[in-house]
Structure formats: C-alpha cells, structure tokens
A and B are shown apart, each in its own frame.
Chain A
Amino acid sequence: MPQLDTSTWFINIVSMILTLFIVFQLKISKHSYPMHPEAKTTKMAKRLTPWESKWTKIYSPLSLPQQ
C-alpha cells in the first residue's frame, strides 16, 4: 500500500488544505443565488426622507431670481 508511506503525507495534506479550505470556499462563496421571480407591486414604495417631504419654492428653477 503506497498510501501508508508517510513521506508524501505532508505535501498531500498541505495541498488539500489549500484547495479545500481556501480555494473551494472562496469559489463557492461567490455563487449568487437569485431570488425567485415573483409579482411585485407597481406602486412606488413611500420613502421616508425628510428632505423630499415638500417641494419648496427655492428648489424650483423657474422661481429662482432672474440673473
């Protein structure tokens, strides 16, 4: 049984650890699993952003003072 010859064990184990614990895990972790396609509501989600709560006069370009 050449498997029991311990002179090659070190290189075997080191290369296995490199492959299994680093290369494979890095590759598998990069997989992206898309969501299932499902019907979404067409209404825009209401955003709670205070700076967009009202359209103030200063933001309207037409109401800016004429240069």
Chain B
Amino acid sequence: MNENLFASFATPTMMGLPIVILIIMFPSILFPSSNRLINNRLISIQQWLVQLTSKQMMTIHNNKGQTWTLMLMSLILFIGSTNLLGLLPHSFTPTTQLSMNLGMAIPLWAGTVFMGFRHKTKAALAHFLPQGTPIFLIPMLVIIETISLFIQPMALAVRLTANITAGHLLIHLIGGATLALMDISPSTALITFIILILLTILEFAVAMIQAYVFTLLVSLYLHDNT
C-alpha cells in the first residue's frame, strides 16, 4: 500500500528510456509562437496574462531588476502549466520532483545573491545583521542570518514539492475512499465525492498559487539584491 501511494511520483520510464524529458518539454507546445501580425485567441490570452503578471510583479523593481522579467515570466508559465497539466488523471507531474525544483530554485537564488554581492556589497552584507542588535548577540545572529540565507533555496524548492505532492496524495486517498465506499454505502460515497470535487477545485487554485508564490519569492530575493 505504501509503495502504491507514492508510485505516481516515481520518474516514469518506458522500456528503460526516461520519457520524463518529453513530459517536462510538453507544456512548451501549449505556448505557440506565431509569426502572424494578428494573433489567435490562445496567444492573445497568453500575452494578456503575461503582460498582467509582469506589470504586477516587475513594477517594484528598478531597471536592473527588470532585466529579469523574461526569466521570471517563463518561470511562472512553466511552473503554472506543469502544475495544471499534472492535475489531469494518470499524468505525471514534474513539479513533484524535488530535484527539478531544486534545479530551478538554486540557480535563480544564487543569481540574485551573486548580483547583490557584486553590485551592492555593503547592502548585501548588511542583511546579515538586523539593526539595533545587542552586542553580545551579534556573533550568533550573524550565524543565524547566514544559515537562513542558505536555507532560502531549499525552502523554495521544498515548498513547491510538498504542496503539489500533498495535494496529489489527498486527491489519491479521497478518490480511493470514494471508490471503496461506493459498494458499502452510496450516501457516504456521495459526501466524499463532493469533498473530492471541492478538493480538486482547491488543487487547481493551489497549482496556480504555488507557481505565483515561487516566482514572487525569487522576485523578492531579486528585489533585496538590486
């Protein structure tokens, strides 16, 4: 049973070949790039969405921070579309893979931190000590702040992984419970089925919110360092 519960999070292989590369690449074909003067509805909606998100997220940045717009917009679209596609039944969700999320979080975080140390060394070092600390606490606080800086990318990756994994597990469990209750008592099965539907709606919201949160936190790290 325990094996079965987590089986959908194992990286799929087909005849020994990793097909995960195709699965991860798949969302990109939902974003066609057209060379027409007038776009179709899908591309228009996507461009409107990108424009809305980038206005909302990038206005707090200065010119240097705004050079990251393309990166952050592709990040939110990638995570969002992967999460939403992962809610299809029998599909594999690459955002449940800790490795992939770490691979996204660490380079982006490192980029912001390196930028901070390169261009604003004093301000970046000042983040290691809050203002008004008593003198005897200074060494300990510097250590704590350093650890908290290095834990940031881990927290970013684990947050996305845990949220998506927990959602999929809950759907799996409640779906299984509904199926088992169908024969025993149909009225209870109806209740669990309603819960399942509400949970699915919640998971759609979580899929989009987590994409937004991941990008927003990278954007905040960027804001601290530009």
Which residues does A use to contact B, with CB under 8 Å?
A: 1-6, 8-9, 11-20, 23-33
Pairwise interchain contact A12-B20, C-beta atoms closer than 8 A: yes
Nearest B residue (CB) for A3: B98
B74 CB, min distance to chain A CBs, angstroms: 4
A sample of 14 inter-chain contacts (CB < 8 A) reads A1-B6, A1-B9, A2-B6, A3-B96, A6-B99, A8-B99, A11-B21, A12-B24, A12-B99, A17-B103, A24-B28, A28-B50, A28-B74, A32-B47
Contacting residue for A16 out of B24, B161, B165, CB 8 A: B24
Interface size class of B (residues with CB under 8 A): 35 or more
B1 part of interface (Cβ distance < 8 Å): no
Q: Main SS of the interface on chain A?
A: helix
Given the complex, which residues of A lie within 8 Å of B77, measured CB to CB? 24, 28
Contacts A8-B11, A24-B74, A25-B70; is A30 near B33 (CB within 8 Å)? yes
Q: Main SS of the interface on chain B?
A: helix
Given the complex, which residues of B lie within 8 Å of A28, measured CB to CB? 31, 50, 70, 73-74, 77
Given the complex, which residues of B lie within 8 Å of A9, measured CB to CB? 99
Given the complex, which residues of B lie within 8 Å of A20, measured CB to CB? 74-75, 78, 104
Given the complex, which residues of A lie within 8 Å of B99, measured CB to CB? 3, 6, 8-9, 12-13
Bound-complex Cα distance A14 to B181 (A): 43
Contacts A2-B11, A23-B28, A33-B51; is A15 near B104 (CB within 8 Å)? no
Contacts A9-B99, A24-B74, A25-B70; is A2 near B47 (CB within 8 Å)? no
Given the complex, which residues of B lie within 8 Å of A25, measured CB to CB? 70-71, 74
Given the complex, which residues of A lie within 8 Å of B112, measured CB to CB? none
Since A2-B7, A24-B74 are in contact, a sample of 20 more A-B pairs with Cβ atoms closer than 8 Å, ordered by chain A residue number, is A1-B6, A2-B6, A2-B9, A3-B96, A3-B97, A3-B99, A5-B10, A6-B99, A8-B97, A11-B21, A12-B94, A12-B97, A12-B100, A16-B24, A16-B100, A18-B21, A24-B31, A25-B74, A32-B47, A33-B47
Quick one: which of B24, B27, B28, B165 has the most chain A CB within 10 A? Answer: B24
B186 part of interface (Cβ distance < 8 Å): no
Given the complex, which residues of B lie within 8 Å of A18, measured CB to CB? 21, 24-25
Bound-complex Cα distance A23 to B51 (A): 19
Nearest B residue (CB) for A13: B103
